[in-house]
């Protein structure tokens, strides 16, 4: 996910035409590097900050934040559900062998049904997130 954010940021930086502003005073350069390099690095830093702010304020930047927060929520919800399923399976395995055989088939049916419902719900939510990126007319 970090790769996608970095890729989106690089694309937006390239396309939004960041404006260079006058460099702010920079600390004195160490003797090994000339002051021109430090000035150039300061100018690049300001351009990056300017572009970052323009991206945050743009409609695409806002949509990107929305999509990322939805994906994060979806991720954590899926992890929580998986942990619940694991806890239920562990509790079931701790039952006696005879009870395990008697309840195993019922649990498997229930588990498949719940997984199916959760899959459908998560798929609907994923489709909703994907629709945020769809071109809007």
Give the model confidence (pLDDT) of 71-105 as tens digits: 899 999 999 999 999 898 888 777 666 676 777 88
Query: How many helices (DSSP H) and strands (DSSP E) are in the chain?
Result: 4, 0
Domain layout of the chain by residue ranges: 1-57, 59-137
Q: Which helix (H) or strand (E) segment is 59 a member of?
A: helix 59-93
pTM metric for this prediction:
0.42
The structure tokens listed for 3 are 């790769």
Residue 21's contacts (CB-CB under 8 Å, 6 or more residues apart) are 46, 47, 50
Interval 37-69: pLDDT, tens: 888 888 888 988 888 888 888 888 888 888 888
């Amino acid at each position: 996910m970090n790769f996608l954010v970095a890729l989106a940021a690089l694309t937006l930086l390239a396309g939004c035409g960041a404006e260079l502003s006058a460099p702010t005073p920079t600390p004195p350069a160490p003797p090994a590097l000339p002051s021109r390099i430090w000035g150039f690095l300061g100018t690049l830093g300001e351009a990056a900050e300017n572009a970052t702010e323009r991206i945050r304020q743009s409609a695409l930047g806002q949509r990107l934040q929305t999509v990322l927060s939805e994906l994060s929520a979806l991720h954590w919800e899926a992890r929580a559900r998986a942990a619940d399923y694991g806890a239920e399976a562990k509790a079931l395995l701790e039952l006696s062998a005879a009870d395990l055989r008697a309840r195993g088939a019922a649990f498997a049916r229930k588990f498949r049904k719940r997984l199916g419902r959760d899959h459908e719900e998560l798929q609907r939510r994923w489709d909703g997130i994907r629709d945020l990126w769809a071109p809007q007319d």
